[in-house]
Structure 1
Amino acid sequence: MAEISKKPVLDEESPENLKDVQAGTVTDLDEGELFLHEHGFSQETLQEMLEDEPRNKALVRRVDLILLPLLAGTYTLQYIDKSALAYSAVFDLLTSTNMSSNEYSWLASIFYFAYLVAEYPWNLLAQRTRLGKVVSGNIVAWGSMLMITAACSSFTGMAICRFLLGIFEAPITPCFMMIVGMWYTRAQQPFRAGVFYSCNGVGAMIGSLLTFGIGQIKTIAVWRAIYLILGGITICWGVLMLFFLPDDIISAKRFKLDEKALLIARSRLGRTGVINHHIKWYQIREALVDPQIWILFFFTLLNETINGGYANFGKLIIKGLTKDPLTTVALGIPQGGFQVFWILTGTFLASRVRNLRTIVMAIYLIPTIIGVCLMWKLDHDSHKIGILFSYYIIGAYVCSLVLALQMPATNLGGYTKRSTGVALVFLAYCAGNIIGPHAFLAKEAPLYQTGCKVILACSTSQVALALCLRWLLTSRNKRRDAASENEGAAGIAVDELADLTDFENPNFRYVL
């Protein structure tokens, strides 16, 4: 535990907060801090570097050019690959494998059962070893599973492949959230997370166009061609990632020593730490009793219950309007564009306007509420354009998800607590996607009234949870501000070099 001493409290987003680091008794430094000590970077040197605005902007642009294309490309492929099941169902998957609609629902859920099982172990492995190599190896593995899926001829074979696909895709999003939390300041994180997550929408557009082209194939079953082509592309991308995705700031080969020091200094501004390869069990226990994490857990659970049904049955709803598989695929393209719009505008606002994140989380659920009411109540025969538009705007809930998924990396101090918080939220992510498809009953196709009711209940409940989260974080910040004022001008300070949790560090302030 770090020694506590008197020191002024400063704004966490300001470079000035680095001046309050004093010598103390530190038994377990964050590894970013060890790097700075080993290479002799003084606080004065780091302060000068942080105050050099052109240098900081140039470095952030360089990080963007190196990291974001890799994250965005992976997310585009992940969405397309994950949606291969939905694309295949539009064509000849169900008839070729003699699969019922109920079995199809279970295939959608099985993926997330695997995700649920594998996500936290992968997270721990990524923390203890090399994050970049864990991500890259899993990309190659899931691409291989896609190609193997093309050989299946029954529900059993599809279920096994789908389970293994979930195992190998499980670490991608949690690791990406940790990467963004490591390389960017807290103010920059929402939009960067939004950039790669919006590639779900890009993936929806590219996947629809690609599937439209594959749908012209006459030599083999279209669904098998989908899996073979997508799997081959993914394997090639995974090999590329193996060479270019850095494991962390400290070991990144494409940055000079002073650039790494500046990146670590920037990461310190939010007091969340850079990286620590040691698992700290007391931080895991602290994560389990933090109400903030459990509000985010239930928010994500409800959000992904919506997604589990919407993502897997959306194209079947469209198919109910047109009956033609190729037209169904083509009509799915605008949905991807809408998703890009929702995510980028919401995360941009959350990054630009201070303490607006929980408000954006609530506001971006309103189009979902409106859209599902229209889909539920409009006549599907006489209002086809209205149904199609409602399908497009329902996807606004994804922006709220992106911000919720980024919250643990932004608002939790201590590397183990942060990774545990990310993992718990992603457990809810999996559980919701398991539950969601089963609200869409085959006998109600193509209207799916029960599914619409579930989406409406989940989205309205999320609005309430977002407001509760804002109240909780505001209360914590006010209590800490009051405690700081009571200490007088000297304030409260700790050794910021230590890998402290947000509960341990009285200078930590939560982002709203």
Structure 2
Amino acid sequence: MEESKIEKGSIRNHEDEKDVQVGTIADLDEGGAFLHEHGFTHDSIQVLLDDEPRNKKVVRKVDIVLLPLLAGTYVLQYIDKSALAYSAVFDLFTSTHMSSNQYSWLASIFYLAYLVAEYPWNILAQKTKLAKVVSGNIVAWGAVLMITAACSSFTGMAICRFLLGIFEAPITPCFMMIVGMWYTRDQQPFRAGIFYSCNGLGAIIGGILTFGIGQIHTIAVWRAIYLILGGVTVAWGIVMFLFLPDDIISAKRFSLEDKALLIGRSRLGRTGVMNHQIKWYQIREALIDPQVWILFFFTLCNEVINGGIASFGKLIIKGLTDDPLKTCALGIPLGAFQVFYILSGTFLASRFRNYRTIVMPLYLIPTIVGTCLMWKLSHKTNKVGVLFGYYIVGAYVCSLVLSLQMPATNLGGYTKRSTGVALVFLAYCVGNIIGPHAFLAKEAPLYQTGCKVILACASAQIVLAIGLRLLLIRRNKTRDAQAAADHAGAGPQSEYDELADLTDFEVRSVRL
């Protein structure tokens, strides 16, 4: 839940937009305009909202339509993004004559491209058709994977890795916006957790798949990995193009009343549904909101951890065994641990009110413990302990899911929300660029410097999460006092005000 501090007179009277109460709908987002166009009144929407069986039926339908598509994409995205790490335990280095330092740069180049492309893709998705942007990029990144199999040098690998980052950049930000559009605030954390936990499922499937591909002897194993994964991804992109809806209003598998109900449910969060107009004052508001910057630095620290673990985790395991197939097999349990952490943490955040900023620091504790085990236990005599430490380190991903999802949940105004999401994902990229370089080749397989960086980042995240909670508690108190004053001295709002494209500063909407 998020809050918005409302200063007196903060609701702007745009000169180019007329008041909805005098008969226009120019200031409504597209959900409000849809209701106005089809004659749905406040009372008729309330009747739909009060129909609990219908609400449950519609949510189940949304789950059936959306979640398999989002989850399937995330499974493939994780496996495809990890193809480099899987290849590293086989014959990638010898086939491409690549050094460990160049390998580190391949991991960073992906996120450098991600950083460059993410916000432009977000703007394009807002101004055009979100689902088509997503599906087109899935097909493109699958094609790039297949091309990667033809590389024979670091330069070719670097170019393909950069293009892969370009085409994967819009996926997670767009998915967070989709969840924010279709679900209420209480439902959003767990739904985001469901598809994000498929990173863990991807780790399991990817490990098993790579173990199988590793039996191939007619072609270099790493080339087979890229060819097979690329072909599957292209096919999945076509499926996404055919079945993923662009938004509530244009969704074909929902009736007029279902759409009205889904739009009405968005009034509960007062963050709007969709608006294709870019509003510059909302971009400015996102840039000066302390909450956005706390989430920015929280995500930055989180992804420094992820950048190191994702790129060098398989090499840490490789230090425990000389068998590349066994390395793939030993990496599989990490995925199961991540699924558990993400689903349990996001369930708690959805089940208990104001619990997100408690879950975020709580799930960093196993990361701290696991890092200490990997660093301090002997890799020769305590292999089981080191492996266990590696498995529980992945708890940080639950905190990441919540931090990535909070801007889409808490920020009102579509442009402000998309800008907040973009800023947090900028931190996501920068952290992943930095992370691999903390793992020094000369320190393998202990990577002492990398362990120290992980501990520092996890500790900083705990402090930031506590600071975020205190900020939101303070904003809630301000909101409650302002709401009481407004109730005493102001007249009733228009029934469409809740669907106007207003920011959270303008409508006092807060969650912790």
Q: TM-score range by the shorter chain?
A: over 0.9
Question: 1:503 corresponds to which residue?
Answer: 505
> Any idea what SS the aligned residue of 1:80 has?
helix
Question: 2:219 corresponds to which residue?
Answer: 220
Question: 1:84 corresponds to which residue?
Answer: 83
The answer (yes or no) to whether the contact 1:143–1:230 under 8 Å persists in 2 is yes
Question: 1:113 corresponds to which residue?
Answer: 112
Question: 1:247 corresponds to which residue?
Answer: 246
The offset of 1:287, in angstroms, is 0.5
The 5 Å alignment of 1:222-371 reads 222-371=221-370
Question: 1:7 corresponds to which residue?
Answer: none
Supply the AA of the counterpart residue of 1:113.
L
How far, CA to CA, are the matches of 2:360 and 2:291 in structure 1? Answer: 15
| Deviation by residue 1:447-498 (Cα, 9 ceiling, x = unmatched) | 0000000000000100000010011111111011112223454567652232
The 5 Å alignment of 1:110-189 reads 110-189=109-188
How far, CA to CA, are the matches of 2:116 and 2:472 in structure 1? Answer: 30
| Deviation by residue 1:37-66 (Cα, 9 ceiling, x = unmatched) | 000111111101100001000110010011
The answer (yes or no) to whether the contact 2:151–2:157 under 8 Å persists in 1 is yes
Shift in alpha-carbon separation, 1:336–1:510, aligned structure 2, 3 A = same
> Any idea what SS the aligned residue of 1:496 has?
helix
The answer (yes or no) to whether the contact 2:35–2:260 under 8 Å persists in 1 is yes
When the two chains are superposed, the root-mean-square deviation of aligned CA atoms in Å is 1.5
| Deviation by residue 1:333-372 (Cα, 9 ceiling, x = unmatched) | 1000000000000000000000000000010000001110
The offset of 1:509, in angstroms, is 2.7
The offset of 1:26, in angstroms, is 5.8
Question: 2:13 corresponds to which residue?
Answer: none
How far, CA to CA, are the matches of 1:410 and 1:178 in structure 2? Answer: 9
The 5 Å alignment of 1:464-503 reads 464-489=463-488, 494=493, 495-503=497-505
Question: 1:377 corresponds to which residue?
Answer: 376
Identity in percent: 78
Supply the AA of the counterpart residue of 1:154.
S
Shift in alpha-carbon separation, 1:396–1:491, aligned structure 2, 3 A = farther
Supply the AA of the counterpart residue of 1:275.
M
Question: 2:189 corresponds to which residue?
Answer: 190
Which ranges of 4 or more aligned residues in structure 1 deviate by more than 6 Å?
Answer: none
- Compare 391-400 and 26-35 and name the one that shifted more: 26-35
| Deviation by residue 1:112-147 (Cα, 9 ceiling, x = unmatched) | 000000000000000000000000000000000000
The answer (yes or no) to whether the contact 1:484–1:492 under 8 Å persists in 2 is no
How far, CA to CA, are the matches of 1:482 and 1:268 in structure 2? Answer: 21
The answer (yes or no) to whether the contact 1:302–1:459 under 8 Å persists in 2 is yes
Question: 1:439 corresponds to which residue?
Answer: 438
The answer (yes or no) to whether the contact 2:186–2:350 under 8 Å persists in 1 is yes
TM-score normalized with structure 1 length: 0.94
| Deviation by residue 1:41-93 (Cα, 9 ceiling, x = unmatched) | 11111101100001000110010011000000000000000000000001000
Shift in alpha-carbon separation, 1:100–1:259, aligned structure 2, 3 A = same
Supply the AA of the counterpart residue of 1:266.
R
> Any idea what SS the aligned residue of 1:332 has?
helix
| Deviation by residue 1:278-300 (Cα, 9 ceiling, x = unmatched) | 00011001111110000000000
- Compare 474-483 and 66-75 and name the one that shifted more: 474-483
How far, CA to CA, are the matches of 2:490 and 2:346 in structure 1? Answer: 34
Shift in alpha-carbon separation, 1:128–1:380, aligned structure 2, 3 A = same
Give the number of equivalent residue pairs: 492
How far, CA to CA, are the matches of 1:175 and 1:27 in structure 2? Answer: 25
The answer (yes or no) to whether the contact 1:177–1:405 under 8 Å persists in 2 is yes
How far, CA to CA, are the matches of 2:477 and 2:490 in structure 1? Answer: 15
The 5 Å alignment of 1:371-450 reads 371-450=370-449
How far, CA to CA, are the matches of 2:216 and 2:340 in structure 1? Answer: 32
